[in-house]
Amino acid sequence: MDQFRQRPAGIGRARSRYLATAFGRELRVARMTAGLTQRKLAGLAGLSQQEASKAEKGATDLSLEARCRLAAAAGHELSLRLYPIATVRLRDSGQLGIAQAIVAVAHPAWRAALEVPVADGDRRAADLVLAGGKEIIHIEIERALVDFQAQLRSAQLKRETLAAHEGRPIRLVLAVPDTRASRARVAPFADLIARTLPAGSAATWRAIRDGQPLGGDGILFVRAPTRG
């Protein structure tokens, strides 16, 4: 089983130590390049020399604000970003019910597979793949629509990676719960959906049930249990 799925706490702890050590090393170089002593750096940041020393030694118990203040005092800016390295399991994210609802009605012509790696060595996975003779339907399940455009782009990037290693067309389908809240979240993006996901929910369901090619990307409203 994937390490991420086995021990996310341990992996996160190790990453925290690594980043703290890297920050300390880079802060020391930045401070010395700026011609500052540790005491002077701490004073500019409004912190104690002990805190500056801990930061340079790679301590993990220093606050994010303290690190940002030390970086600013050295003439730098600390940046944080999230990079996708793995996919949370459908069962853990509460999306399994939606996937099962789709598979339950899929025509036998579709070969269904859950959590399909998008490429060798890539820890991301497609939530659900329906493989047919003429095309593949790649379904990404979004149980909670927080940032529709960002979630759509993430799904598109997965599809692009899958498509690089597949000879058949890959159709992207965004599956969301068929609830009033989900439809309200999607409504402001009607124009974007019409351009990027032109196959409506009814057409997408029809292709899945009949075992026929979808012919384009689409959206799917799914009535399914939402329990995690």
8 A C-beta contact, residue 131 and residue 144: no
pLDDT in tens, the chain (228 residues): 344 445 778 778 888 998 999 999 999 999 998 899 999 999 999 999 999 999 999 999 999 999 999 999 999 999 987 766 655 565 555 688 889 999 999 999 999 999 888 888 777 889 999 999 999 999 999 888 888 888 999 899 999 999 988 889 999 999 999 999 889 989 999 999 999 999 999 999 999 999 999 999 999 999 866 454
Structural domain of residue 40, as residue ranges? 3-73
The CATH number given to whatever domain includes residue 57 is 1.10.260.40
- Listed residues 73, 107, 124: the one ending a domain: 73
pTM of the model as a whole: 0.67
Note whether 177 and 147 are same-domain residues.
yes
Packing angle, helices 49-56 and 8-33, rounded to 10:
120
Are 24 and 102 part of one and the same domain?
no
Query: Which residues is 174 bridged to in the sheet?
Result: 140, 219
Residue 9 lies in a domain: yes
**Residue 174 sits in a domain of what CATH number?**
3.40.1350
Q: How many domains does the chain have?
A: 2
Beta carbons of 41 and 69 less than 8 angstroms apart: no
Q: How many other C-beta atoms lie within 10 A of the C-beta of residue 189? A: 17
Last residue of a domain, one of 73, 100, 120: 73
- Convert 106-145 to b/e letters by CB count within 10 Å (16 or more is b): beeebebebbbebeeeeebbbbbbbbbeebbbbbbbbbeb
Of 39, 73, 107, the residue that ends a domain is 73
| 21 part of a folded domain | yes
